[in-house]
Amino acid sequence: MRKKVTVVGAGNVGATCAQEIARRDYADVVLVDIVPNFPQGKALDMNQAAAVLGYEPNIVGTNGYEETKGSDVVVITAGRPRSPGMSRDDLVQTNEAIVASVTKEVVKRSPKAIIVVVSNPLDAMCHVAKAVSKFPKERVIGMAGILDTARFSAFIAWETGMSIKDVTAMVLGGHGDQMVPVVSATTVGGVPLEQLVARGRIAKMVERTRKGGGEIVNLLKTSAWYAPGAAAAQMVDAICLDEKRVLPCTVLLEGEYGVNGLYFGAPVKLGAAGVEEIVKLKLTAGEKAQLRNSAAAVRDVVGVLTHK
């Protein structure tokens, strides 16, 4: 029996995510948006691409939530995107209301679903979805670390001239300028990054990763969508196909990595039950200190939420 995945928000990120999931061909996809005719048009276009790309045309676009009933996974991308000069944190009040409303609607119709949050500020919006849904922490997960790690991996591949397929990296912490690329756990073909690239060059790649979203906003005048959409789809794959992938996701930590009661980026085993295990990495003293700074920054944003 095919899985059912709902993507809320038919903008660039949501539409990219929906098509990536459709191309895997294991799930029917419902694309929801408040703009009349917009998700219907996106869905029709994706369905017509099925003949070319080789998947079954089972994408429904809707302005309501009845079609989402019985979803296995709900991906929430709805919300205002960033514009130049705006931080992810600037979006908190506007997007809190949107994410709270969306969560209430989808939970009402899919009480057994796993929620994947993509809306920014990501860490804070996970708290909102958790508070409104009242789901266990294993079933409310944020997409951030996969995207940040993908950006770090791209920079490493360019710097070393080696295949991105051989880069193994991990970015933890909050989805903001204090995120923590874990250099000590980064390898290319099994060789530690620090043996391949000078420290100064690594520091520049780390900084570019931290500002990766802002770099794209400055170029496009809006948020990225290809990499975020693909990253969210990878999480849906791991859940729907019970892949047991170890991926960096935003999860509610309760003492792990010295962080308590906060949605925060950490490596997890992701499968059919959602977060099935939080994986503990051995970090350097410097990386631990960076994580503490990142956690403090996330707490500041979470502190202004109505839903906690």
CATH of the domain at 33: 3.40.50.720
The reported pLDDT for the residue numbered 200 is 98
Task: Give, for 294, the enclosing helix (H) or strand (E).
Answer: helix 285-302
Residue 268's domain spans which residues?
A: 145-302
User: Along the chain (308 residues), what's the average pLDDT of each consecutive run of 10 residues?
Assistant: 97 97 97 98 98 96 98 95 68 90 98 97 96 98 97 98 98 95 98 98 98 95 95 98 98 97 98 98 96 96 86
Let me know if 175 is a catalytic residue.
yes
Between CA 307 and CA 14 the distance in angstroms is 24
| 88 and 40 belong to one structural domain | yes
Select from 99, 115, 142 the last residue of a domain.
142
Buried residues in 206-228 as b, exposed as e (16+ CB within 10 A): beebbebbbebbeeeeebbbebb
In terms of domains, do 197 and 123 share one? no
Which token pair is 288? 């631990």
Which letter does DSSP use for residue 216 in this model?
A: H
User: Residue 308 falls within a domain, yes or no?
Assistant: no
CA atoms of 308 and 305, how far apart (whole Å): 6
Distances (CA, A) of 284 to 50, 174, 218, 287, 288: 47, 18, 33, 5, 6
Q: Are residues 21 and 138 in the same domain?
A: yes
pLDDT at 242: 98
Q: Let me know whether 110 and 135 are in one domain.
A: yes
> In terms of residues, how long is the chain?
308
CATH number (domain holding residue 199): 3.90.110.10
Q: For residues 7 and 116, what is the distance between their CA atoms, to the nearest angstrom?
A: 9
Examine the domain organization and report whether 132 and 274 are in the same domain: no
CA atoms within 13 A on the CB side of 53: 16
Whether 49 maps to a domain, the answer reads yes
Residue 88 pLDDT: 59
125 is a domain residue? yes
Q: Which residue has the tokens 């429904």?
A: 60
Residues 44, 169, single domain; the answer is no
Both 129 and 158 in one domain: the answer is no
How many structural domains are present in the chain?
2
pLDDT of residue 91: 76
> How many helices (H) does the chain have, and how many strands (E)?
10, 14
Co-location of 220 and 105 in the same domain: no
Can you give the pLDDT at residue 269?
98
Instruction: Please report the pLDDT score of residue 31 as a whole number.
Output: 98
> Helical H runs in 54-173?
92-109, 122-133, 145-160
Q: Is residue 93 part of a domain?
A: yes
Q: Are 20 and 227 in contact (CB under 8 A)?
A: no
Check the CA dihedral 242-248-249-250 and report its sign: positive
For residues 131 and 22, membership in a common domain is answered with yes
DSSP state of 135: -
* Closest to 262 measured CA to CA, from 247, 272, 252: 252
Residues 218 and 251 in one domain: yes
Q: How far apart are CA 12 and CA 83, in angstroms?
A: 14
Domain end, chosen from 113, 142, 171, is at 142
Which helix (DSSP H) or strand (DSSP E) does residue 114 occupy? strand 114-117
Residue 307, in any domain of the structure: no
Q: Which of 130, 139, 175, 269 is catalytic?
A: 175
**Are both 290 and 259 inside the same structural domain?**
yes
Q: Kindly write down the DSSP assignment for every residue of 234-292, as one continuous string.
A: HHHHHHHTT--EEEEEEEEEESGGG-EEEEEEEEEEEETTEEEEEPPPP--HHHHHHHH
User: Rg of the Cα trace of the chain?
Assistant: 19
pLDDT at 80: 82
The answer on 103 and 35 residing in a single domain is yes
**Looking at 142, 175, 194, which one is the last position of a domain?**
142
